[in-house]
């Protein structure tokens, strides 16, 4: 009997990524994305999520969502999606390194998507998230695409114990991050909001 593959154990392999982008991106852009993939894999090598899956799987699935569900093929978007948590999770990586390797726009997106503060108290968490969302409000649409795609991937992992309080995570998403869509009139943003709503309804049904 074939074992059922659970969503949270899936990922986008380098071979699959090459198949998806090699015929679309220019060689320089292609190499940049593969370098970002390898850097993200290295940064998250020993990290696991609360559902006991490799953290790296998560960042690759965001790229998978961008390609398979949003039909976007942009090298900078892919790189930033793969590296969006790299600054927070690496002791040696910095913006200068990202800029040197991937260009100023990728480092800008990673910087905008990074939440530097480690939050312990609920009051501090609320203050931090408001500040973070305010920053995202004035970022680029690509940042919002990555952030909502990240939330979508996490929604799809809630059934596997990713969050200790999944209802709070869903409420946080719809209270703070989904409203950002009103500032970015873009088909991909609208689709992500729709997909988040679908996943929310699945969770409560």
- Classify each residue of 104-136 as buried b or exposed e, where b means 16 or more C-beta atoms within 10 Å of its C-beta: ebbbbbbbbbbeeeeeeeeeeeeeebeebeeeb
The pTM of the full predicted model, rounded to 2 decimals, is: 0.93
Task: Report residues of the chain scoring pLDDT below 50.
Answer: 1-2, 117-123
Cα distances (Å, whole numbers) of residue 175 to 50, 117, 127, 169: 23, 20, 14, 10
Q: What is the pLDDT of residues 10-33, one digit of tens each?
A: 999 999 999 999 999 999 999 999
Give residue 166's pLDDT.
96
Give residue 120's pLDDT.
39
| In contact, 188 and 162? CB cutoff 8 Å | no
| In contact, 134 and 177? CB cutoff 8 Å | no
């Amino acid at each position: 009997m074939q074992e059922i593959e659970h969503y949270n154990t899936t990922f986008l392999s380098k071979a699959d990524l090459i198949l998806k982008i090699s015929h679309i991106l220019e060689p320089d852009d292609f190499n940049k994305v593969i370098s970002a993939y390898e850097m993200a894999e290295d940064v998250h090598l020993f990290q696991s999520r609360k559902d006991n899956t490799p953290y790296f799987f998560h960042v690759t699935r965001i790229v998978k969502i961008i390609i398979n569900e949003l039909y976007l093929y942009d090298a900078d978007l892919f790189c930033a999606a793969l590296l969006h948590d790299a600054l927070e999770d690496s002791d040696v990586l910095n913006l200068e390194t990202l800029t040197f390797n991937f260009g100023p726009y990728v480092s800008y997106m990673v910087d905008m998507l990074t939440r530097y503060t480690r939050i312990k108290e609920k009051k501090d968490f609320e203050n931090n998230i408001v500040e973070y969302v305010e920053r995202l409000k004035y970022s680029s649409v690509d940042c919002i695409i990555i952030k909502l795609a990240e939330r979508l991937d996490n929604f799809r992992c809630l059934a596997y114990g990713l969050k200790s309080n999944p209802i709070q995570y869903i409420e946080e998403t719809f209270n703070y991050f989904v409203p950002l869509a009103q500032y970015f009139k873009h088909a991909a943003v609208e689709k992500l909001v729709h997909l988040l709503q679908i996943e929310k309804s699945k969770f409560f049904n």
